[in-house]
Structure 1
Amino acid sequence: MYLIDKINALVSQQVVPGISFAYLTADHLERRQVGLNTWLPQETALPANPLYDLASLTKVIGTTTVLLHLIEQRVLSTETAICQYLPEFTDKRVTLRHLMTHTSGIQGYIPQRDCLSGRELIKALVKLPVTSNFNQVIKYTDTGPILAGLIIEKIYHQPVQSVIEQVVLQPLGLTTATFQPQPHNCVITSSKTGKNLQGVVQDPKAQQLGCHCGSAGLFASLNDVIRFSQFMLGQLTITQAPIQDATIKKLFHSFTPVLPGRSFGWDLRWNCLGEAVLYHTGYTGNFLAIDRQRQRALIVLSNRVHPFNNNQRFLSARNAIMELFLQS
């Protein structure tokens, strides 16, 4: 299968040290693990069932699913004003939908952000101004999901990552998914300075915010992401699922009039039949596509940030692989 060959080439052409990937349909699962854990300072093997720093896949697996659960329970709606739960955020126009479709227009720049403590970063985030891009431009940022995570905390009176564990990970049986991994089980990434990280979240804001971060921080195995994908495809029966099948189906359309459109929490792509596909990436080298209409999904997990963060070859290859998936 040419798609599989293209994914394997990420390793054979030394775009990334190693990958774990899966292509699944209603009646078939192709799953492989290829390559190494590290290149530098020496070559090391991947763990037997490695945990990957999922980076922004945390947004869709975790935070988005909790929000949809709360919307089903009528605690929230997509049009809930942010200031209702975060009064320090004074712009009354901005809703949960704006946060989760990246159309809030919130200015993202915070001076000397990486020097702030978690508490200081939260104070700065809730006071960021809304620009003229409000409801006009889709601009992907971490700010929206982080603020959404703070809203979750207001409702549950617990850290957002604890809520994700209780509402999503445990009911879905994602047994290795965790925010506190054992380092020896983890695939190594690298920081901006080139320092190897193992079992430590790579995202700087997630490091600062710790358990209060709803945008990154989740580690999981390929098996867990496969199980989550099967749930989203409607292929699993879960006794106490966090969200209903009807809610999942509604995700396969745009939640904003701003073109090219974006779902709630998820990006959208379109397959060769013009049908919507849920899509999301993670900075560390992960991407996930869920094609509900054709009952298939693609999962690629890697550490494209090792040994260097600025890996443009991976981004080009990722786009080519996704295009093959959509058109096949």
Structure 2
Amino acid sequence: MYKKYIDSLIENKELPGAVLYVSRKKQPLCHKAVGSYIGTDEQQFPVTENTLFDVASLTKVIATLPASLLLLSKGDLHLEDPVQHYLPEFKHAAVTVEDLLSHRSGLPADLPFVARDGQRDVMAVIYQTELQQAPGKTVAYSDLGMILLGKIMEKIAGQPLDVYTSEQIFTPWGLHNTRFNLPANLKALSASTEKVGTRFVQGEVHDEKAFHLGGVSGSAGLFSTAEDVARFATHFLYPEEQDVIPPDLMRMATRHRQSNRGFGFEVWNGEGDPLSCGQSWSIGSFGHTGFTGTSVWVDPQEELIVAFLTNAVHYGRSTNIRTIRKTLHTMIYSSIQEEIS
């Protein structure tokens, strides 16, 4: 049922291309690639199982969150520390590392739009950005908080975020197709995102802030495959089966804290508007989404993982991806329940 739904999305031009990876109890149930995209050379290319996608805000949980947890485990990072302890240029003394991780910093979601070909010192602007509410109180999703967290990682590690995460997280976790700043030979294997000016953006980060930061950011910039994203999720579903980060810290990140949030992840607690996994998924399910059309969801009760990578913005930024995600994940969950019964 859900496989036919994916096909219909391509046929109806709701999505240009997508790769869906579904596993349950460590057994792959689906690895399906559909659709195509137009490259920078105006040629059309099919999406394959190995196509790389700009995963956008999945960067927050695939790169920045694990790096934070690893540095926490080493005692190099402390949740209660003020951001100013690591980044003295940041103007708000009351905002802590924990506020950044739980999206309770009080910072706005985004910066005013500046086009890719514009000039902007992103960090200088963030350091001076005013808070919209008192820190530590209200959950309000913020790219800026995760960008700050990425810079804190770099300060502590003494390495750029892309180097640190590649060496300390991605390689030991087996995420061999996950990286920032694709080299030229891999750019051609990535699904292009949006048309900017006369050409499609292919193999370069779609997010303008991450682009102005040189392609490496705590908020966006990562490229990956559906299989790699599912492998990442497997480590959080079975944290005791990896030895990079202490399992108790990984479980802490996926526990509900406030307003359907944990650390980094969204966590469904059954209250409020359903998350992008839909309302049928078990309480305690956790995941994240990305603006380009990407998402990953984990249901610990069902031992279910769904990685869904698309380049929805290929057709422009007004996409129906939020409705599509809920429909797809509800269909997948229903099919699992039918098999059980």
Q: Which residue of 1 aligns with 2:214?
A: 210
Map of 1:231 onto structure 2: 235
> Following TM superposition, by how much is the alpha carbon of 1:39 offset from its aligned partner in structure 2, in angstroms?
9.5
Q: Pick closer, same or farther for the CA change 1:5–1:247 going to 2, 3 Å.
A: farther
Contact 1:159/1:211, CA 8 A, preserved across alignment? no
**Once the two structures are aligned, what percentage of the paired residues are identical?**
27
User: Residue 23 of structure 1: CA displacement?
Assistant: 1.1
SS of the equivalent of 2:209 reads helix
The worse-fitting range, judged by mean Cα deviation, of 126-135 and 24-33 is: 126-135
Shift, 1:56, TM fit = 0.7
From 262, 265, 275, the equivalent of 2:283 is 275
| Alpha-carbon separation, structure 2, partners of 1:155 and 1:323 | 41
Aligned mates of 1:5, 1:111 — CA distance in 2: 40
Q: Say whether the 8 Å CA contact 1:47–1:186 is kept in structure 2.
A: no
Q: Which secondary structure state, in structure 2, belongs to the residue aligned with residue 93 of structure 1?
A: coil
Task: Please say if residues 109 and 140 of structure 2, whose CA atoms lie closer than 8 Å, have aligned partners that are also in contact.
Answer: no
For residue 9 of structure 1, what is the aligned residue in structure 2? 8
CA contact (8 A) 1:161 1:214 kept: no
Q: Report the counterpart of residue 155 of structure 1 in structure 2.
A: 156
Match 2:119 to one of 116, 119, 142? 116
Gapped regions of structure 1 (runs ≥ 5): none
Cα-to-partner distance string for 1:93-126 (whole Å, 9 max, x where unaligned): 2111211222111245656644334xx2111111
| Distance in 1 (alpha carbons) for counterparts of 2:112 and 2:207 | 17
User: Given the two structures, how large is their TM-score scaled by the length of structure 1?
Assistant: 0.88
- Go from structure 1 to structure 2 and tell me whether the alpha carbon gap of 1:325 and 1:122 turns closer, same or farther (over 3 Å shift): same
One-letter code aligned to 2:322? L
Partner Cα distance (2:231, 2:240) in 1: 8
Structure 2 CA distance for partners of 1:64 and 1:27, relative to 1, 3 Å: closer
Q: Counterpart of 1:144 in structure 2: which amino acid?
A: G
Query: Aligned equivalents of 1:139 and 1:309: distance in 2?
Result: 22
Root-mean-square deviation (CA, aligned residues, Å) is 2.5
CA–CA distance in structure 2, aligned partners of residues 90 and 17 of structure 1? 43
Which residue of 2 is the match for residue 293 of structure 1? 301
User: Relative to 1, partners in 2 of residues 1:273 and 1:212: Cα closer, same or farther, differing over 3 Å?
Assistant: closer
Q: Which residue of 1 aligns with 2:315?
A: 307
Give 2:226's match in structure 1, choosing from 201, 208, 222: 222
Give the corresponding residue for 2:274: none
Amino acid at match of 1:163: Y
SS in 2 for 1:23: strand
The structural deviation recorded for 1:188 is 1.2
Which residue in the other structure is 1:322 paired with?
Answer: 329
Greater shift after overlay, 154-163 or 227-236?
A: 227-236
User: Contact 2:15–2:311 at 8 Å: present in 1 too?
Assistant: yes
SS in 1 for 2:81: coil
Residues in 2 aligned to 1:39 and 1:116: alpha-carbon distance in whole angstroms: 26
1:34 correspondence with 2:25: no
Query: Taking structure 1 as reference, are residues 161 and 84 closer, same or farther at Cα in structure 2, changes over 3 Å only?
Result: same
Task: Give, in whole Å, the separation in 2 of the partners of 1:273 and 1:202.
Answer: 30
**1:97 maps to what in 2?**
98
CA distance in 2, matches of 1:189, 1:65: 26
Partner of 1:170, secondary structure, is helix
Which residue in 2 is equivalent to 1:249? Answer: 251
How far off is 1:203 after superposition? 0.8
- Partner Cα separation in structure 2 for residue 111 and residue 231 of structure 1: 36
Bigger drift between 35-44 and 94-103 goes to 35-44
Unaligned runs of 5+ residues in structure 2 are 270-278
